[in-house]
Structure 1
């Protein structure tokens, strides 16, 4: 049990660190790309193209890595190393076929897709990004295999390789394209060519890593390995509900993008203005996605951990990990959400030197809490062999998002501001449905104080301290210094409030990165 706990902690730590690095590198890529090269119009082309890519990406790869990880983890927990390898071999062949199909669809239908989302200038960007679907699909087979072996290093390293390559080549190609042509649609395609190249480098890294470490895997000698057809059946059976669950949201986002662009057109905005407004929305989405990506690294590591516990019928460990993961998620996501919401204008002004449309981030900041909990709770439901529940819940949330956007975005007085409202209501609904399902399936009792009251107290403290500090410091210190002062004060009050209301137990503190060190210091100064 202690070994499993250590594996869970180490896996979560490795993935969390890599995600933080990737997000930092991603910011170094996307912010100058937006601010200095493509600007809001070019980023509107770039972002609208990504909605098509994301949908095909999710359909191709979302469910299979989770399925591979789960099956490999279960096989190894039962001492069937040879079967674990066979699962990887079969899944890699399957993903090669899936990736090739996605590539051909993206390439062949780029022009119709661009017309569908009312952004015809995005067709070239879609064509250039098509090969990345193949490389990402094949790479996901390696990542799923190693995650099932509780080895997060390949995933972490390959993500950093991809991010660094995208930073270097994406900015270079985008700059050259804009300098030589001055056309936003060509500049967007230049940026995406760097992304495609980065996925190729990531795939090459994973393949080399696998070949180098394959000899270290000690094969067992079982002879009753499942047939290829049976493995394929298991993979597809597990992957389909996961894929549908995630693809429903990306499909909703795709429909959402097309609706937003068409509705803005219907109330009188021309294509350049629509693309610019969508570019501003993308800025809010970029910042909105930062906390969930890092915090939800827990979800990536916890699926194999809980799957192993369930396979070994260790209900106590499974329940303990479930409660700890959700509790830590809420306590970390709440201050991030409140901080983004309260400091939306200065954050956008600092990053982009442009605070226009900051209310988009004010609303999206609140949604950060809900999307983070959705990602983790989806992973928990999958670990409990209930992958269809997130599918239905996401369908309900997606329907709410479309209806709200249909009503609000078409209102000239609200227009683009209706989009984040729909997003917030969507994820709020899914969180409620997921938590109800988890309580029913696992039998775990969620404390109202631990999961609602204490996080709300911390959230209010974060919102008030950051807002008040910025309001009084900005006139004296300036916008940039005032922003960092507000963040620093909010972080201090957040940490103090965590201790004062005893939001985390000693065992939960140990789950944090450097948890043992943190706990020893807190005990030394009698703070816990």
Structure 2
């Protein structure tokens, strides 16, 4: 029997918690890059198309089954913790488990039963093995979500961060090795015997696509294994470390609310959030469905402009089997989408960390504290999202070459990324803004706003993706318009609901000016390298470094970083002293 260590309360400020989560997310993304970049070479663009199609459906089921509950648990735990109702805190966790278990099991069943129907609907049957391999992750991630939401509500971001890293490492090891083994074994068997795992699979392009489909399934099986290891870590952490609530605190706490009451509150809070998360996941499903079906429509009606646009970028084997072109282009689009998602995935950590902090300030009724917390969230989000999104746009082609290498699909990826880089800025802002709306009690409003944005995305996606000269770029344009509308609407709603007037000069304008200087200097450095030393796959790296240095200096000169922000970091007092000395030397 594992004995718990003596309780020690871990409580982090917004920025401290965001720093932990951001560091974890950055490490997860590095691991993810080490996974996806070689994976695209192992299973090719066709395999990535199957991989992405499976994930598009999975994200909707996963959101439906789990997405609302961690946020609802975090908010309820944070509220009860701020009011000293620690028995309620414990009971919230207890009532969450059976709910999460049920929804996770239902989600896994929907994934298994819905996979054949979905792959047939989008005309991509090769994605079926990958979808089935991913199905167990719904249940496993549901169980992990209980622990993550619980500790996030207590403002302890360590379990979430470490469990995500463990999950990513397992995906890297088992997913890559599994994909390589399957692709190597099946390709050799196909060349020697004309079969795959002892079964005849046809000739030429059809056989090659079958091998890619099995490789994608093997890669995704690593994701399910990672989800299992994440649950095991969280369970062990809870048994060994506990939650830091002492016996004295429990003794002084009021009697807890009935379990049924807490369960009803949990469901009432989580359903709108889950609908919103599902709506955002539907964005990927829209892309997976419309981009492939509309490109198939272009191939049937007017293929010449699109094929001319990508002349030399679509492999001969795909041109020989035109039915595979929609999946190939969708695979290219998702390789750009992977880079796009880096930005909002980082700022999602800000939203997770912001929710308990803003909830705490709102529950205590301190308007000054609430304004300070909200401005910090928006400022830190903009300081990260603006240079990252602008950098992705202005260096889209060189970044695509740096990450994926010089290959036929690189120009296609770069064109999509140029549009999606700008969209990444607005996508990055929506999650923290939505979290703050939920923190002040309006859990349903982000859902309504997101649904409105998605309605616009559906219409634009269908129309634009069917234009031969636009095709998959329609996905990026519709994504940009969607997130612009949602971000602006959330910001306006937050101002009206709270009555707080943001200092936009410090939160938005100064980071934007610094980010524009960053983008201009990075692009100038890249052009100079291209002109004077010739083109190179690695030329984007020094250009990014130049942009980062210029951005840091610009932030300091514009005084975009607030002392209050630094005070919330670990070792904040020492940082402030050094920061102030630098400002004095710089004339500040």
TM-score of the pair, normalised by structure 2? 0.86
Match of 1:453 among 509, 512, 516: 509
Change (3 A) 1:511 1:339: farther
Whole-angstrom CA distance in 1 between matches of 2:74 and 2:153: 4
Query: In structure 2, do the counterparts of structure 1 residues 271 and 513 end up closer, same or farther at CA, with 3 Å as the change threshold?
Result: farther
**Residue pairs, 1:246-395, within 5 angstroms:** 246-268=277-299, 270-353=322-405, 354=407, 355-357=410-412, 358-395=414-451
- What is aligned with 1:519? 576
Q: Report the CA distance between 1:505 and its aligned residue.
A: 2.4
Match of 2:21 in 1: 15
**Pairwise CA distance, 1:24:** 0.7
Instruction: Answer with 1 or 2: which has the greater Rg.
Output: 2
Deviations 1:284-333 (A, max 9, x none): 11111112222331111111111122222222212110011101211221
Equivalent in the alignment of 2:96: 91
Q: Verify the 8 A CA contact 1:4 1:305 in the aligned structure 2.
A: no
| Distance in structure 1 (CA, Å) of the matches to 2:283 and 2:167 | 27
Alpha-carbon contact 2:402-2:538 (below 8 Å) kept? no
The answer as to whether partners of 1:474 and 1:483 remain within 8 angstroms in 2 is no
Partner of 2:241: 213
Task: Please give the per-residue CA displacement for 1:206-252, whole angstroms capped at 9, x wherever unaligned.
Answer: 11111112385424135632112111110011101111112112123
- SS of the equivalent of 2:299 reads coil
Q: Distance in 2 between matches of 1:153 and 1:424?
A: 33
Partner of 2:312: none
Bigger CA drift: 166-175 or 447-456? 447-456
In the aligned structure 2, how far is the partner of 1:501 from the partner of 1:401? 36
Answering whether residue 539 of structure 2 is matched by residue 494 of structure 1, we say no
Match of 2:72 in 1: 67
Name 2:37's counterpart in structure 1.
31
User: What is the aligned partner in structure 2 of residue 193 from structure 1?
Assistant: 221
Deviations 1:163-221 (A, max 9, x none): 11010000011111111223011001100111101100111111111111238542413
Find 1:143's aligned residue among 145, 148, 173.
148
Whether 1:167 and 2:172 are equivalent positions in the alignment is yes
RMSD: 1.9
Q: Secondary structure at the match of 1:15?
A: helix
- C-alpha offsets along residues 59-81 of structure 1, whole Å, 9 cap, x if unaligned? 11111001111111121222222
Query: Match of 2:501, SS?
Result: coil
Check if 1:157 corresponds to 2:157.
Answer: no
State how far apart, in whole Å, the 2-side matches of 1:520 and 1:451 are: 22
What is the deviation of 1:513? 6.6
Query: Secondary structure in 1 aligned to 2:510?
Result: helix
Q: Which residue of 1 aligns with 2:307?
A: none
CA shift, 1:508, in A, is: 2.7
Give yes or no for contact 2:47–2:215 (8 Å, CA) kept in 1: yes
Deviations 1:443-478 (CA, angstroms, capped at 9, x unpaired): 111234334433332232122111111011124344
Which residue of structure 1 aligns with residue 262 of structure 2? 231
Q: Which runs of 5+ in 2 are unaligned?
A: 1-8, 188-210, 301-321
Query: Aligned-pair distance for 1:400?
Result: 1.2
Counterpart for residue 115 of structure 1: 120
Moved more, 250-259 or 157-166: 250-259
Q: How does 1:421-432 map to 2 (within 5 A)?
A: 421-432=477-488
Residues 1:510 and 1:224: Cα distance change in structure 2 (over 3 Å) = closer
Inter-CA distance 216–381: structure 2 relative to 1 (3 Å threshold): closer
Deviation of residue 255 (structure 1)? 2.7
What TM-score results when the alignment is normalised by the length of structure 1?
0.96
- Shift in Å, 1:118: 2.2
Name the structure 2 match of 1:484.
Answer: 541
Check 1:411–1:379 CA distance in 2 against 1; reply closer, same or farther (3 A cut): same
How far apart, in 2, do the equivalents of 1:482 and 1:307 lie?
Answer: 45
Cα pair distance change 1:395/1:168, threshold 3 Å: same
Query: Structure 1: which 5+ residue stretches go unaligned?
Result: none
